[in-house]
Structure 1
Amino acid sequence: MGRSLGYHSSGIMLAIALAGFAGCTGDVGDPDAAGTGGGGVTLPDGTESASLLPARIRRLTNAEYAASARALTGTTTNPSEGFAPDSRQDGFTVNDAQRVDPVLAKQLAAAAEALAAEVKGKAAELAPCADPGTQAESCARAFITSFGGRAYRRPLDAAEADALLAVYQVGAKGATYADGIELVARAVLQSPGFLYLTEIGDGSGGDALALTPHELASSLSYLITAGPPDDALMEAAVAGALSTPEGREAEVRRLLQTSAARERIVRVVREWLGVDRIAMTAKDSNVYGDFAGARASMERETEDFVTEVLMNSTGTVGELLGADWSIIDQPLMSVYGAAGTGRVSFSDRRGILNQGAFLSVYAHATETAPVLRGVTVLRRVACVDIPSPTELNINVVPPVPDPSKTTRQRFEIHSTDAECKGCHNSIDPIGFSFERFDGMGKVREKDNGTDVDSAVTVAISADFDGAYADSNALAQALSTSPTVRSCFARNVFRASVGRSGKAAAESEESFLKAWQAVPEAEQGKLVETLITYVKSSLFSHRRPQ
C-alpha cells in the first residue's frame, strides 16, 4: 500500500531546483529589452546578426502545456483547462514574457499531481520493471532516461538523471516502486526543462548563436503543431537534417498534414483578429435575445471557415477577408437569414470580418461599436499605428445615448472635436462601414427607426483608399491590398516568434525582406509565410544579449 505523497514536497522542490536546468542556462536577459548585440556578422542567407532575436527561454502556453502533457503521459484530459489565461503580446498567446506567478504555480502543481497519479496507474506500461524487488533502481533509471528525455525534449545529462533518481528514492522509501515513479513524474512535470523552451544554443558563444539540433526540433514542432516533436522530427534533428533550410522546410510540410498543425494555424488566425474571444463575449439578452444560442455557432464558424480556407482552398489572407461563402449551422442560418447550412454562399456577407464572431466581439453589450471595429481593422489588418487615447493624454467621453439618432450620427461628433478628429477621421469611416450589421452580426436596415448609412470614404493614404457602400465592399478591397498582405505577414511573424514592438522591430524588418523575395503569388499564404520564417536564419540562430 503506497503512502500519501503530501509530505514529499521537499523532494519535489529539490527536483524542480535541479532537474531541467542544465539546458536552461545562458545569458537570456530581459525579454522586453530593446537593442542589439554582437557585431555585424552576416549569415549565409544575408541575415545580419544584429537583427536576430535574442537568446531566450520561453514558457509554454496553456495549449502547448496541454499538448505536451498529453504526449508525455497519454492522458485524455485537458490538463490546462483551469489554468489562469495566458498573457498575450500583440494579441498572441505565444509570448516570451509569460511568467509562472503564484496562482499558476499552484495550478501547475495540482495538474502535475493529477497527471503523476495517472502515470502511476500506468506504471506497467510507462515504467515496466520485471522485478521491482531487486531491479527497482535500474528500472527507475531507465524510466528517468526515457520519460525525462521526452519531457525535456532532449537527452538528460548525468546530473539531471541523478537528481531525479534521488527523487525516486524519496518516493519509494518505505513505499513502492510505483510510488517512486509517481514522484519522479510529478517532479518532471513541474521542472523548468518541461515548462520552458530554450533558444540559447550550445554555449559556444559568438555573435550569432546556432540553436542546437534538439532546440531546432522543439522550436519547429511548437511553431507548427503547438506540441512537442515527434519521433521522426527528433530523428531528423539528430541526423542534422534541421541544420539546412531545405531540411526544415521538409519537416514543416510533413507536420502540416497533422490535425495538431491545423488547430495551431487556425488559432493563429483567430488570435490575429481577436475572434477567439467570442467564447467570453456577452450581450444584453433584452437587446440581443438570440446571441446566447448562437455564440457557440459563431465560434465554430470561424474555426470551420479558417480551416477550409487554409487547408482546402487558396490558403490566402485574400480569401480569408474576401470569401463570398462561409460554413454555418442551424442557429447561424437563422441569424444570417441564410437558405441552408453547411457551406453557404452569401451576397451580403463577405469574409471573416463580416462574420458574427468578429462583429460580436467588436461591439458593446447593447449596441454596435464603430470605433472598436475601425481600430481593429486598421491595427490588425492594415498595420496602421493608431495610438490609444491614454497615450495622447485624452480623456474619452462616449457620445451621449440618444434614441432619436443612429449610432453613426452620435459618433460623428468625433470629427468635430479638435482633439479627436486626427485619429477618428481614419478610424470612423472603417467602423461606420460595418453599421449594416448590429451588435451580434445581424443585418439591419434601421437603427433607432432611421435608415442605416454604411457608405464611407476611406482616405488614409493607403492602397485601399476609396469610396465603399459598406463593409463588404471594403472587405473586397482589403482582400487584394498589398498593404494588407504585408501586414498579415508581419502578424504571422509576431505570432511565431512570441515578440513584437520595438524589441523585435529589426527582426521583423529582416523577415519582411525575406518575405518580399518570395513570389507574389505565395506572399499572401499563411503556410508559405511560415516556411519563409522557418527557412531563414531568424529561426535557426539567436544573438547573445
Structure 2
Amino acid sequence: MSLLPARIRRLTNAEYGASARALTRTATDPSGSFTPDSRQDGYTVNDAQRVDPVLAKQLAASAEALAAEVKGKLAEFAPCADQGAQAESCATEFIKSFGGRAYRRPLDTAEIDALLTVYRVGAKGATYADGIELIARAVLQSAGFLYLTEIGDGSSGATLALTPYELASSLSYLITAGPPDDALLAAATTGALSTPEGRETEVRRLLQTSAARDRIVRVVREWLGIDRIAMTAKDSNVYGAFAGVRPSMELETAAFVNEVLSNATGTVGELLGADWSVLDEPLKGFYGAPGVGRVSLPNRRGILNQGAFLAVHAHATETAPVLRGVTVLRRVTCNDIPSPTELNINVVPPVPDPSKTTRERFSIHSTDEECRSCHNYIDPFGFSFEQFDGMGKLRDMVDEHLVDNGHPVDSAVTVTMGNEIDGAYADSNALAQALSTSKTVRSCFARQVFRASAGRSGKSAAESEDSFVKAWEAAPEAEQGKIVETLVTYVKSSLFSHRRPQ
C-alpha cells in the first residue's frame, strides 16, 4: 500500500473556528472574517494551507479577543483560591488543562515551562488574570494549536505509525472538523486507536453527532463546488428572483444531505438520484413544488438538479453548459478532461444571438477541430441541463414547450464514454438516474472521499488514492456506495494510521 508522506498541516478556517469555540467556549465565529482557505482539487482540507502575513494579523486579533473572553471567565477557566501565594501553581494547572486541550495532547515539561514564562511576563507588575490572558493569547497563536502533525513519534523506519494523540486528532478533524472529545482522547490513552477495530468504533460514534453531519455536508458541497452558492450573484435584470431564493438553495443542500444520511439509504446513489428534496417556502414557489419539508420532485432528481448546483455552474445572465458538463465529468465520473489552457487552445465564447437557443450557440464547439474531441464528452452532460435556466429555474413554458429565446429547448443527449453510463437520455433527470446506479460513479465518489479526507490529491497522491480504491473495492458491494462506510474504510486502513518518511 502506497502511504502518504509524513507532514504537518494547518487547520482550515472551519476547523480553527470549531477548535477555538471548543477551547474558549466563545459564542462568536472566530474565523468568520479570515481570508478564504486555499484549495486543492476543490477541497479546503489540504496540506497546502499556509499562514501568510494577512492571516497572521487575523489570527493575532482573534487570539487577543478570545484571550480577553478567557480572562473574563477566570473562575471557570483558571480558578485560584489565593492569587497571591498560589498564583504560579494555579497558572501551571491552567497551562496543563488549557494547553492540553489546545494541543490535543498532554504538554511536555519544556512546553509547560515556556508557557509559565509567558505567564510571568504577563503578570509582572500586573495581575494573575493578566498573566492567564497572555497564556491564552500565546496558546491560540501557537503551532501546537494551529497545526495538526502526522509525523509519528520520531522513530526511524520505512513506515511511521502516527502517535495515539495524532490518531485521535486526525480522526476527529476528519469526521467532525473539530478537536477530539474526552472519549476519543481516552481511547488514545488506552491505545484503542492503534487497531482498525478501535478506530471504527470511534468513527461510528462520532458519525452520530451533528458536527459529523455538518462536515459531510461541507465535503459534498466542496465535491460539487456548490459551497460557492452563498457568493454566487446573478444579473438582477435577467434573474430578479435569484437573490430571494439563494439562501433557500443553500439550506436545501444541507437539509437534503442530512436527510439522505439520516432517513434514506445514505448512498451517493441517493444523493444523485433521489426523486425528492427538502424545501422551505421560498423554494417551494421557485420549484413549483407541492409543499414544504420532504417533498416528491420527480423532475428534479438528485443534487445535480437542485438550484444550488445549477446556479453556481452558470453565468450571470445565462446558462453555462460547458461549466455544468465539465463539473459532472470531472467530479462525478472522475474523467480528468484537460482544460483549454493545458492544450494551448484559445477559446472564443459564442457570440450572443437572440435568434438561437443556448444549445444552438454552444454547439459550435463540437464543430471545431481543436475543440471537438473534448466537447464530444462535455456537451452531452452540459446540454442535458438546458431545461433549467441560469439561476436553476425551470424555463418558461410556451405552447407546451420549454423555451429559450422563444425557441423550444432541447435537453435530449447521447452519452458515449465507453462505460455503463453510455446511452440516450431525455434530460438531466434521466441522466442523473443513470449516474445514481453507475459503478464508475461510485468508484469516483470513493476517490473524492479520499481526496477530501487525506487532504492531498493529484499526481503526488495518485498511488495512495489507487491503494485506497483497492481497499474500498474489497468491501461488500452493498456498502461501496454508502458515504459512511467509505469513510470507515479509509479510517480503518493503514493509509490513515501510517505515513512514509519524507
Alignment TM-score, normalising by the size of structure 2: 0.98
Instruction: Tell me which residue corresponds to 1:184.
Output: 135
Hey, what does 1:318 align to over in structure 2?
Answer: 269
Are the equivalent residues in 2 in contact too, given 1:116–1:186 (CA < 8 A)? yes
CA distance in 2, matches of 1:284, 1:176: 57
Question: Which residue pairs with 1:34 in the alignment?
Answer: none
Task: Give RMSD over aligned pairs.
Answer: 0.6
1:518 aligns with 2:475: yes
CA distances 1:1-59 after superposition (whole Å, capped 9, x unpaired): xxxxxxxxxxxxxxxxxxxxxxxxxxxxxxxxxxxxxxxxxxxxxx3xxx100000010
Structure 2 Cα separation of the partners of residues 346 and 237 of structure 1: 46
Residue 313 of structure 1 and its aligned partner are, at CA, apart by 1.2
Q: Which residue of 1 aligns with 2:160?
A: 209
> Which of the residues 206, 230, 238 maps onto 1:279?
230
The answer for the alignment partner of 1:91 in structure 2 is 42
1:63 maps to which of 6, 14, 17: 14
- 1:359 alignment counterpart: 310
Q: 2:495 aligns with which of 518, 522, 538?
A: 538
Q: 1:330 aligns with which of 265, 277, 281?
A: 281
2:465 pairs, out of 503, 508, 524, with 508
Query: What displacement does 1:90 show?
Result: 0.8
Residue 437, structure 1, aligned to residue 388, structure 2: yes
Q: Does 1:460 align with 2:411?
A: no
2:291 corresponds in structure 1 to 340
Indicate the SS of the match to 2:370.
Answer: coil
Q: Secondary structure of 1:95's match?
A: coil
Cα distance, 1:311 vs. partner? 2.2
- 2:147 is equivalent to residue 147 of structure 1: no
Query: Offset at 1:347?
Result: 2.4
Query: How far has the Cα of 1:213 moved from its partner?
Result: 0.4
CA distances 1:216-258 after superposition (whole Å, capped 9, x unpaired): 0000000000000001100011101000000000000111111
Contact kept, 8 Å, 1:58 with 1:98, in 2: the verdict is yes
Alignment of 1:199-348 (within 5 A): 199-348=150-299
Partner amino acid for 2:423? G
Residue in structure 1 matched with residue 118 of structure 2 by the alignment: 167
Q: Is the 8 A contact 1:119 1:185 kept in 2?
A: yes
- Aligned to 1:400, the other structure's residue is in SS state coil
Letter matched to residue 446 of structure 1: V
Work out the CA distance in 2 between the residues paired with 1:346 and 1:199: 45
> 2:232 & 2:217 partners in 1: Cα distance?
19
**SS where residue 426 of structure 1 aligns?**
helix
Tell me if the contact between 1:369 and 1:439 (Cα under 8 Å) persists in the aligned partners: yes
Correspondence 1:484 to 2:441: yes
CA-CA distance at 1:346 after TM superposition: 1.4
Q: Please show how residues 400-479 of structure 1 align to structure 2 within 5 Å.
A: 400-444=351-395, 445-479=402-436
Return the offset for 1:197: 0.1
Q: Contact 1:262 / 1:311 at 8 angstroms: preserved in 2?
A: no
Deviations 1:133-160 (A, max 9, x none): 1110111011001111110011111111
Report the AA paired with residue 215 of structure 1: E
Distance 2:74 2:210 in 1: 29
Unpaired segments of 5 or more residues in structure 2?
396-401
Corresponding residue SS for 2:295: strand
SS in 1 for 2:86: helix
The alpha-carbon deviation at position 123 of structure 1 amounts to 1.1
Tell me which residue corresponds to 2:398: none
Out of 314, 333, 336, the residue aligned to residue 382 of structure 1 is 333
Aligned partner of 2:28 in structure 1 is: 77
| Number of equivalent positions | 496
Counterpart-to-counterpart distance in 1, 2:187 and 2:45 = 25
The residue that corresponds to 1:37 in the other structure is none
Inter-partner Cα distance in structure 2 for 1:317 and 1:474: 15
For residue 342 of structure 2, what is the aligned residue in structure 1? 391
Q: Secondary structure at the match of 1:326?
A: strand
How far 1:394 sits from its partner (Å)? Answer: 0.6
The alpha-carbon deviation at position 460 of structure 1 amounts to 1.6
Identical-pair percentage: 82
Q: Are the counterparts in 2 of residues 273 and 380 from structure 1 also a CA contact under 8 Å?
A: yes
Residue 330 of structure 2 aligns with an amino acid whose one-letter code is R
Aligned-partner SS, 2:186: helix
Question: Could you tell me which amino acid in structure 1 is paired with residue 335 of structure 2?
Answer: V
Q: Return the alpha-carbon distance in structure 1 between the equivalents of residues 289 and 264 of structure 2.
A: 22
Partner of 1:13: none
Q: Which runs of 4+ in 1 moved over 2 A?
A: none
